[in-house]
Chain A
């Protein structure tokens, strides 16, 4: 009887039960899409044929708003471009404006900016690690990551009073000098934090389930990655040296020693390894910055009204936590930017999602999406 049934099923699969394409809608409200991103996935069985991201659910037209605000007012909006890494966007805009107007912040402000941005990179990578592991089923790293991130946020709160949107890095310097106890507290945090990295790696790196889900999945080749505009840790996972801190140094990154973290395989696991190694590098950069922080003014004297020169323009890039972050400003001689464009890493990294997921299973979409470290407010702006 069973044999008969089996043979019938087998026969049926060959003759009448052919597979058919069907379409699944993921999001816009889905816990694994890190915000309101909608994916339309075309499937054959469990195999992905095509992934179409639908953007715009979080479009707040920050660029249009910035065109109607003065330069210092815009800084507040830049926080909202990428709220997981707000300091980086603050810095990108402040640096672009300074280069446009020919201003320079004093050394103490530059070192403070570097400290804040590297701390922010730690916080962002920790949140990413937790969310990425959570996406593919390991919930514990999320708790571990947030535990240490909380301490970094406490340092920020102590400095500028905010926990998410800091508005701390301003044109010509920083908002306010750090408290005297900031430096010892930051050092204490680094001493506490460094052994914890080994703890995360113990949990994840060679975990067989984690390896099974990430190794060899979603491979970007260097040529495809460069051509599709992938940047930051996601491209360094494919072995392309693309760190803006090395290629076009800003602040004092040419004065500190750090390695550019490269992996060659280009799969989800390599991207994970790059970010974990970057955490260690950031700790080393932070120690060097704290050593070299000297007393002095924390902001430069600005003219009473900030005006850009007429018909001037600047495209200034930094390495934010997610990759290359560019700000394009066009000045027209008034107090408002004529044009303000944010070039965000997540936008390009989301574009490549379709190519990466084709031919993989539907569950791999989550692994790939997590490994690209995209943040929806940055995609939509």
Chain B
């Protein structure tokens, strides 16, 4: 299955569940999910035989303060089909909440803890949502773009 074929297939299979699907200039298939159907989309992508994205390679987030949103990005890999997929879902920056995918891929447990720690996104239903890198009494979210701290100096261009 080429990238274009996969994009069209996902577009037709999950028409109501996704906002957009595209092949990037870097030749990656990128789909954006609706927050309400994000969890069921993940489960289907893992379980359906023609996709079998059983491996959550990476889960992280990107901060876009200008658009007032944060994006949770999942990179999936299918060992059976040798295919890669980027799955995105946008969350509101003021109230960042999204269901956890821990029950779909176990590896999401620590990935989501890290995103919670560094971006402050709350994963609803997560079994163990604690800080993982920063000290437990830390109050800021370091990877947000508006982060300031005494020891943190942004170098001028």
Q: Does B55 lie within 8 Å of A330, measured CB to CB? A: no
Q: Does B28 lie within 8 Å of A241, measured CB to CB? A: no
Chain B window 15-31, contacts with chain A (Cβ cutoff 8 Å), 1 for yes, 0 for no: 00000000011101010
List chain A residues, Cβ under 8 A from B63.
339
Pick the residue among A69, A240, A330, A341 that contacts B58 (CB under 8 A): A341
Main secondary structure of the interface of B (DSSP, over half): loop
Q: Does B142 lie within 8 Å of A330, measured CB to CB? A: no
Q: A229-B55, A348-B110 are in contact. Are A309 and B25 (CB under 8 A)?
A: yes
* Size bin of chain B's contact surface: 35 or more
**Is B100 engaged at the interface, CB distance under 8 Å to the other chain?**
no
**Is B3 engaged at the interface, CB distance under 8 Å to the other chain?**
no
**Is B32 engaged at the interface, CB distance under 8 Å to the other chain?**
no
Q: A68-B154, A240-B79, A328-B58 are in contact. Are A312 and B105 (CB under 8 A)?
A: no
Pick the residue among B56, B143, B155 that contacts A64 (CB under 8 A): B143
Q: A324-B57, A328-B58 are in contact. Are A229 and B105 (CB under 8 A)?
A: yes
Q: Does B79 lie within 8 Å of A242, measured CB to CB? A: yes
Taking the closest CB of chain A, its distance from the CB of B93, in whole angstroms, is 15
List chain A residues, Cβ under 8 A from B79.
226, 240-242, 247
Q: How far is the CA of A158 from the CA of B127 in the complex (A)?
A: 51
Main secondary structure of the interface of A (DSSP, over half): mixed
**Is B133 engaged at the interface, CB distance under 8 Å to the other chain?**
yes
Binds B, one of A54-62, A137-145, A191-199: A54-62
Q: Does B133 lie within 8 Å of A343, measured CB to CB? A: no
* Size bin of chain A's contact surface: 35 or more
Taking the closest CB of chain B, its distance from the CB of A372, in whole angstroms, is 14
List chain B residues, Cβ under 8 A from A253.
none
Q: A56-B135, A227-B106 are in contact. Are A61 and B75 (CB under 8 A)?
A: no
Q: Does A59 lie within 8 Å of B133, measured CB to CB? A: yes
Chain A window 146-158, contacts with chain B (Cβ cutoff 8 Å), 1 for yes, 0 for no: 0000000000000
Q: Does B58 lie within 8 Å of A312, measured CB to CB? A: no
Q: Does A56 lie within 8 Å of B133, measured CB to CB? A: yes
Q: Does A314 lie within 8 Å of B26, measured CB to CB? A: yes
List chain B residues, Cβ under 8 A from A324.
57
List chain B residues, Cβ under 8 A from A241.
79
**Is A380 engaged at the interface, CB distance under 8 Å to the other chain?**
yes
Please report which residues of chain B, range 63-105, place their CB below 8 angstroms from some CB of chain A when the two chains form the complex: 63, 73, 75, 77, 79, 82, 84, 86, 105
Q: How far is the CA of A114 from the CA of B106 in the complex (A)?
A: 33
Q: Does A328 lie within 8 Å of B54, measured CB to CB? A: no
Other than A64-B143, A224-B106, give 12 A-B pairs with Cβ distance below 8 A: A59-B133, A63-B118, A226-B54, A229-B56, A240-B79, A247-B79, A315-B58, A315-B86, A328-B60, A330-B62, A335-B157, A351-B109
